Structure 1
């Protein structure tokens, strides 16, 4: 029986030279040691002003995609955002919908139901998009970088595909019209930890700049070189994109991406607006049902109160509910949806508790020796909760864990979480190379990944 690990306090090492520099710059010694242990080696990295954000021009293809969208808006082409069904995908979709509509675009959104279509821009979801919306352009948010078949199907049906994503790419890229992803080859954007919502936010900045250069908003009241200008420097009809930062903060924290300097700025600026009651009605409603005070909002509130409630829609039903909560400007409707999300989250907790008990009992019933990973499958498990379950098992036994649930059509779908010693996506890639055909689909990051297998191949996997 593998031992479960008790909570442990890890001592972080700090560079004495970095501590000394921080203290010399006026940081109290204790705080200097904490900062240095977390990789903050100079006070410059503590700056939270917009002028310290990474420049949009460093993101490969960002300007090209902005031009394509500006052309599409001018030509009144129909746009459709295809979102992922987690909090990052929902917030990225809300940022895209709100900004594009403010720019005058004809845009709708579609999010795959995980139980019917699975993850990403699949051929099935492309055909659904074509039949239901007849769009000219598909824009993926928080997905698409691994959607080879889906992009091919969209091309066959005459739809242009623009991919915005942050997941790690494979050795080749889909045949999309344009791709922005800080992790794609050749991209010099310095923040490789940008979440999907952050990628979409940068696209809106670039698109506004492109539209401004075409005279879409008229001359500015004041000249400004700031990445996110002060409202006083904007023409009255020029959208203020800083209003979207509460959504960016929520998606960034909920996706558990590393808070490097760029992400810290985005989160801090978003939290400042939430505390000032300048967030979207849906975010304020989520604070209300979670019984948290938005005037004292912290990243913990976003990660442990709002994020789980938003994710509950995608886990148990359909993330369309969560996205609608974030895009509506009707405070009453937002409160109604937030209450339903709160109910779904309570149901999710109950399901998760039972699955965790079963999983722990299964692991503790066997002796795995010293070196092992964990792959668990139960036909009764809920597909929407396996990611949380994998995280709980990983934390308890300090081993990479993948939990599987039935996916329909003879497939099982897995969600994995890993420890720092194992890059999970690279490990799955290695399995796929050594055992062709075993893994039907996979994608993800170092710490988290998803995949699909045939049910009969579970033991082999």
Structure 2
């Protein structure tokens, strides 16, 4: 890993903020690095509230969306809530359908089948609406590129409202309303909402028509926080406030479905990291291994006993998912080695038997071994489908756009995307993708970067600092958990490898005679020689709490060590 030490703020600004907040150098520096330079900004950062949420009517087409939904409710029209099969999509459908059912009974939900219909709005879904006398579809977390599908629906007399957060193409669908803060002609002040976040803005606008405020909608924030964490959107601005308040709902009064998932994993207080690694994979597993409808059913269930039954089913899906992605990752690594493709600028692998539901996870796993923009392909009907994942700093969406002559359709973000292509174009696409990445990527991006906030001394680590650092949460893009470094560390003599296959290390380090602290380094077993050499080393780490037998002590969670 290459360590990059973030620039230090001007000393005068550090001193100014220290005095204003009555904090030490470390806290003032961390805040300034996050753009927080005044008492009021710090108050907002540490105590997010509804005041940080923007007026939903600032989003283009919001007035049209609200007017069309109100008309549908008033006239008793059948409304279908349509969403993608991942966490953002299924939480969006659960949120929108739950809210609309407080206003009308004429609500249906629809999640496309990952294998039969693929990503986004499908002709099959539109036909289902037409066959069931549904005249309005509200699409969430998808639809921004569904030009032909929306036109097809219009021919059948079915209106569309699109709530999306993906990048639009050159043309916007001819829907009644298209809510997407990434539209060039949208002046909404925050561009990084997830799909469920856009859905929440729509129900906020609808609720305001009924004399309600956003405070009356807190019961939906567990869904919004889960989508924010799962979709890896920046946890700044509105997302920080929504995630903060949503986590509070998750930990105090979650919906029965969420409560049932939490009961399965037996954890008292959940952080955003727990949401990403415990709740989200289970919700995702439904769409990956069976059908996204299972997730929506769980998240909208009001009876806890039934929700608990559904949660067990979803937990089983997640167990199957883990076994499947482990097997496919092993097969993909063998393929890369057998084809001698370790040295390229990209990783592109394909097997027609691979499970379409886990190829995105496999792509992420391959990046852990070969740190390259990665695509994993499988057969999907008579086409090939792929999930793309990227390395930090490289826009894989733009790279795919440069290969568009070989692609049938694609969509996504800077770091994650999906695409389909004709099998006969696979080799040409693979060569072009390698060429585009080779020509456009900064070679240093092919070595993982470890961003270090600040160098500190071990003696500066104490319980007070830990209490303040915990208030920096929720963490995520734009507000990552602080990473520190310290130099001239030595093992006290008890350092050893631990865990299966000696994958991890555990040691106690000292920097001077008075400073000793326990460290755990997951996945750093190969660094044991540095520890055993008795020579000084540097460590990059997060400050963490170790809970054991009712006792809580500080420890360092090592990210890397160097001589």
TM-score, normalized by the shorter chain, greater than 0.5: yes
1:459 CA displacement:
1.1
TM superposition score normalised by structure 1: 0.87
Please give the alpha-carbon distance, in whole angstroms, between the structure 2 residues aligned to 1:333 and 1:12: 50
Q: Is the 8 A contact 2:373 2:390 kept in 1?
A: yes
Q: Which residue of 2 aligns with 1:235?
A: none
Greater CA deviation, 313-322 or 16-25? 16-25
Query: Does the aligned pair in 2 maintain the 1:45–1:261 contact within 8 Å?
Result: no
Question: Which residue number corresponds to residue 324 of structure 1?
Answer: 297
Between the aligned partners of 1:439 and 1:458, the Cα distance in structure 2 is 9
Corresponding position: 1:274 with 2:250: yes
Give 1:162 deviation, angstroms.
0.5
Q: Which residue of 2 aligns with 1:228?
A: 214
CA pair 205-14 structure 1, distance change in 2 beyond 3 A:
farther
Alignment match, 1:362: 335
2:28 is equivalent to residue 32 of structure 1: yes
Measured after TM superposition, the shift of residue 371 of structure 1 is 5.6
Partners of 1:143 and 1:165 within 8 A in 2: yes
Partner of 1:458 in structure 2? Answer: 426
**Given that residues 140 and 163 in structure 1 are in contact (C-alpha distance below 8 angstroms), is that contact kept between their aligned partners in structure 2?**
yes
User: Residue 445 in 1 paired to residue 420 in 2?
Assistant: no
Single out whichever of 133-142 and 361-370 deviates more from structure 2. 361-370
The answer to whether the Cα contact below 8 Å between 1:122 and 1:149 also exists between their aligned partners in 2 is no
Instruction: Give, in whole Å, the separation in 2 of the partners of 1:21 and 1:150.
Output: 56
Q: What displacement does 1:454 show? A: 1.2
**SS at 2:187 equivalent:** coil
The one-character-per-residue Cα deviations of 1:285-326 (angstroms, maximum 9, x if unpaired) are 010112222xx1211111000000000000011010001000
Name the SS of the counterpart of 2:233 in structure 1: coil
Asked if 2 retains the 8 angstrom alpha-carbon contact of 1:166 and 1:183, the reply is yes
Asked whether the equivalents of residues 79 and 106 of structure 1 are also in contact (C-alpha less than 8 Å), the reply is yes
The CA deviation at 1:71 is 1.6
Asked whether 1:63 is paired with 2:35, we answer no
Question: What's the CA shift for 1:246?
Answer: 0.8
Q: Choose from 413, 416, 440 the match for 2:388.
A: 416
1:421 Cα deviation after fit: 3.0
Q: Is the 8 A contact 2:14 2:28 kept in 1?
A: yes
- Structure 1 residue 191: deviation in Å? 1.9
CA contact (8 A) 2:336 2:342 kept: no
Q: Matched residues in 1 for 2:324 and 2:219: separation? A: 36
Secondary structure of the residue aligned to 2:427 is coil
Q: Is the 8 A contact 1:254 1:307 kept in 2?
A: yes
State the match for 1:264 in structure 2.
240
The Cα of 1:208 is off from its aligned counterpart by 1.1
Asked whether the 8 Å contact 2:112–2:122 carries over to 1, the reply is: no
- Measured after TM superposition, the shift of residue 258 of structure 1 is 1.3
- The residue aligned with 2:433 is none
Give structure 2 stretches of 5+ with no counterpart.
430-563
The question of 1:246 aligning with 2:222 is answered yes
Q: Could you tell me whether the CA contact under 8 Å between 1:313 and 1:319 is conserved in 2? A: yes
Paired with 1:35 and 1:380, the residues of 2 have a C-alpha distance of: 49
CA distance in structure 1 between the partners assigned to 2:137 and 2:390 by the alignment: 32
CA distance in 2, matches of 1:424, 1:72: 40
1:12-60 deviation line (CA, Å, top 9, x unaligned): 4453366455434314432333334445454155040101112223211
Q: CA-to-partner distance for each residue in 1:322-375, whole Å, 9 max, x for gaps?
A: 010000101011101110110110110000111111112222345558661121
User: What's the counterpart of residue 485 of structure 2?
Assistant: none
How far apart are 1:140 and its partner, in Å?
A: 0.2
| C-alpha RMSD of the superposition | 1.9
Check conservation: 1:25, 1:43, Cα contact below 8 A: no
Q: Which runs of 5+ in 1 are unaligned?
A: 1-6, 218-226, 230-239
**Partner deviation per Cα, 1:101-150 (whole Å, 9 max, x = no partner):** 1123521100001010001112232113322x321101101000011121
**CA deviations over 1:153-184 (Å, ceiling 9, x no partner):** 11111100100010111111111111001111
Query: How far has the Cα of 1:274 moved from its partner?
Result: 2.0
CA distance in 2, matches of 1:302, 1:400: 26
Moved more, 371-380 or 281-290: 371-380
Does residue 336 of the first structure (1) align with residue 309 of the second (2)? yes
Q: Deviations over 1:53-83 (max 9, x none)?
A: 1222321111221122112111111100111
SS in 1 for 2:109: strand
Contact 1:182/1:191 (<8 A) preserved: yes
Task: Assess, with a 3 A threshold, how the Cα gap between structure 1 residues 279 and 10 changes in structure 2: closer, same or farther.
Answer: farther
What is the distance in 1 between the residues matched to 2:140 and 2:84? 7
Match of 2:154 in 1: 155
Q: State the distance in 1 between where 2:296 and 2:277 align.
A: 18
- Displacement of 1:382 in angstroms is 0.4
Asked whether the 8 Å contact 2:347–2:370 carries over to 1, the reply is no
> Quick check: 1:430 aligned with 2:402?
yes
Does the C-alpha gap of structure 1 residues 323 and 445 become closer, same or farther in structure 2, counting only changes over 3 Å? same
**Whole-angstrom CA distance in 2 between matches of 1:11 and 1:363:** 34
Deviation at 1:10, TM superposition (A): 5.3
